[in-house]
A and B are shown apart, each in its own frame.
Chain A
């Protein structure tokens, strides 16, 4: 595609997505609230990503520890290993990697699910069955993704640190208590809170992009695949952009 056309498409896509997000806020606050469907989605979205998030978190902590050790040993500060890993995981790697995994798992499944519902007229069928499909499908999924990602991040952080503890013990011996004392001594609320807050934004981004792509899916099974795929790509890029913004904001607020 030639550049001007690409640029135009990017702008129109961004505009559409902003409108969609606006619609989310308008519809989200108006009653009838779909509480039971929200709970159902929270369960599905949280539960579905648990194994993957847990596994990647564990490996991340373990590998990071093993990779960092040689450098720290050469500087003679091997004892700082838990602190280094703790800060890296809690402030940056935990939220971002979990969010990316979440985008791959949940973003694509929301995109494909809503896409195929759109293509097979299930969304229209909901509308004639006395249901506002935007509220029932989009608002619940976006809220569930927003609420569940921070929980998954905390969980992933904890499992990562456990992985790191095992990593430390491969070459040396540290007691469980000592390891976690070192980690938590190094961490303060200023490390934890911004990471926690940005996780909400990551979750929101994954939810809204997945729903947007699915809801606007074009006809045919090919359209469904494309929705799922671009949901992952766009939300992953958005996660990095949001991460960049978050670090600027915490910097300005002096939370570093």
Chain B
């Protein structure tokens, strides 16, 4: 199925697509709970791919494997030409500057202001910037997510949607090449969710990133994703565009489009 997609895409654009993320034969279990079973995925440069799956199907586990927070039992994950499993911690940190991660629960640091939250990745990755440049960067990403006025606030003072935007700003501040979104719209009202979806789309174009988006929010997926991968029974069960999958007659796929 993956091969078919590559060929289609080549036919459309005439150029060999460059893949920024390749997952091959990924297995991950927790004790007897087999979460991922022979999962495969390819993400091409400039593309937004959504992974769709039920709650508990292992979506978060999947992207935590990609960023090296969990170690897969088997299989290879290739990010920007590096095999994640073979990197030492310094090389892994290097890759992590290029891969942004938007956590499902935002993961803003409660004890820090918005400014300190945004500066944290810059400082910790030893990115050499003067104080003025750092402030400039913080202001720039905050402007991009439309929350410039919150710079000195604490995360607890912000609403859920605002926190999501700040978390997005924190992933954007390192100018990543790939962004992994873990359920960006879950827990938000439809209007705020739509705002976030629009923002994801805009930021993807503005920062020229590829994105892997994990969700079960059809509206969000429809707006942002070029291609959808169905994660069912630990596998890449089906994939295609929204329209293609909607026509799919498989029972397990159909459930999601009702």
Q: Write the residues of chain A forming the contact surface with B, with a CB cutoff of 8 angstroms.
A: 113, 116-117, 119-122, 124-131
Q: Report the Cα distance A127→B96, complex, angstroms.
A: 9
Question: Of the candidates B93, B99, B107, B126, which one forms a contact with A121 in the assembled complex, judged by CB atoms under 8 Å apart?
Answer: B107
Instruction: List 5 A-B pairs, Cβ < 8 Å.
Output: A124-B69, A127-B69, A128-B68, A128-B99, A130-B126
Q: Are B96 and A130 in contact (CB under 8 A)?
A: yes
Q: Report the Cα distance A113→B109, complex, angstroms.
A: 11
- Min CB distance, A212 to chain B, in Å? 20
9 closest residue pairs by CB, A with B: A125-B107, A121-B107, A130-B125, A130-B124, A129-B121, A121-B103, A130-B93, A120-B105, A131-B124
Number of chain B interface residues as a range: 20 to 34
Question: Of the candidates B105, B110, B120, which one forms a contact with A129 in the assembled complex, judged by CB atoms under 8 Å apart?
Answer: B120
Q: Report the Cα distance A201→B126, complex, angstroms.
A: 35
Q: Write the residues of chain B forming the contact surface with A, with a CB cutoff of 8 angstroms.
A: 64, 67-69, 93, 96-97, 99, 101, 103-111, 120-121, 124-126
**Given A128-B67, A128-B96, A129-B121, also A116-B110 (CB < 8 A):** yes
B101: A residues at CB distance < 8 A: 125, 128
- Min CB distance, B36 to chain A, in Å? 18
- Min CB distance, A161 to chain B, in Å? 36
A121: B residues at CB distance < 8 A: 103-107
Q: Report the Cα distance A78→B101, complex, angstroms.
A: 70
- Min CB distance, A134 to chain B, in Å? 12
- Min CB distance, A210 to chain B, in Å? 16
Q: Report the Cα distance A31→B104, complex, angstroms.
A: 31
Given contacts A116-B110, A129-B121, list 15 more A-B pairs with CB under 8 A: A113-B111, A117-B110, A119-B105, A120-B110, A121-B104, A121-B107, A122-B109, A124-B107, A125-B107, A128-B69, A128-B101, A129-B96, A129-B124, A130-B96, A130-B124
